[in-house]
Amino acid sequence: MTGLAWGVWFEPTQPVARLVELARLAEELGATSCFVADEGTERDVYVALTAIVSATGLTVAPAITNPFSRHPVTTAAAIATLAELAPGRVIHGVGVGGSRVLDPIGADPARPYTALAELLEHNRRLLGGESIGPARLAWFDGDVPIGVAGRGPRVQRLAAEKADWVILSAKSMTELPGVADEVRSRGAAKIAWSAYLAYSDVERRRVLRHFSYMAVDAPPEIREAVGLDDTTTAEVRTHMLAGRMEEAAALLPDAMVDLYAVAGSPEEIAVAIAGCRAHFDLFVLPMNDEATSEDHIRESARILQSI
């Protein structure tokens, strides 16, 4: 067994029974956690998490639930129900949400940071036995750590100061040490770092498809760093929301893979992640492609176990 704590992060684009199979495989290979994205029009995140937490011993988390597509009180009740089912094995993952979940429901929040901060405060209080107005989870007596995801520095500061976990997705290895130092200087939050592994030419192409989400939702400085202008970003958004991932990927510079994934041979990737171990507490593996999920989990587990 490796000393590196790691988990998997699924987009619920496959049937829940299939996600359960993949979660079981990951657990057999050493994973300790399973994150599932809350994408609104895909399979329901809480149904998927219930199935996974019931079929495995993994810690589970929505990654991420937002304040707009679900009412914060309903979200707190869903998380509490999961924690009642699997005490000590649930993390409440929250964030502002991205285009893939907000655009289909016509949500265009004017103050997303404020809404996230309120969600964090209100859910912390509800899960701790307090009331928010008339709302109270009188039946729940547990403890649920909260994780906050966000790419911008303002959200990351909020997470470091108020949350138990800071979830860093698509944070490059060059940025990770500085961000980790900043997080640790502000509180006791643990860091979950999620990065795609591009260990072959085939995986490089698969990774690029998934970076369309990041390209659309990333702060302007991230898009500027890889040479994405507003016009191209708009085209990527159109293809992505229509499910045309190959067309979206064709518009993205290959440089994004080297910047935001961990790329190279399996041995080079293992060395690179080992060099960053002081800067995170949990490595979370996002899935690259549905058709090769088992192979990708096995190869990635082999890399991570070699660290």
* pLDDT tens figures, 124-163: 999 999 999 999 999 999 999 999 998 888 999 999 999 9
Q: Which residue has the higher pLDDT, 291 or 228?
A: 228
* pLDDT tens figures, 236-287: 889 887 878 889 889 998 888 988 899 999 999 999 999 999 999 999 999 8
Q: What is the DSSP letter of 300?
A: H
* Cβ atoms of 20 and 52 closer than 8 Å: yes
- The model carries a pTM of 0.91
- The phi and psi torsions of 94 (rounded to 5 degrees) equal -130, 160
What pLDDT does residue 291 have? 63
The domain 6-197+264-305: what is its CATH number? 3.20.20.30
Residues of the chain with CATH 3.20.20.30: 6-197+264-305
* pLDDT tens figures, 73-90: 999 999 999 999 999 999
Mean pLDDT across 67-74: 94
- In angstroms, rounded to a whole number, what is the distance separating the alpha carbons of residues 198 and 205? 8
What pLDDT does residue 289 have? 66
Answer whether the bond into residue 52 is a cis peptide, omega within 30°: no
- In angstroms, rounded to a whole number, what is the distance separating the alpha carbons of residues 248 and 232? 9
Q: Which residue has the higher pLDDT, 106 or 57?
A: 57
Q: Which residue has the higher pLDDT, 278 or 41?
A: 278
State what percent of residues in the chain have pLDDT above 70.
98
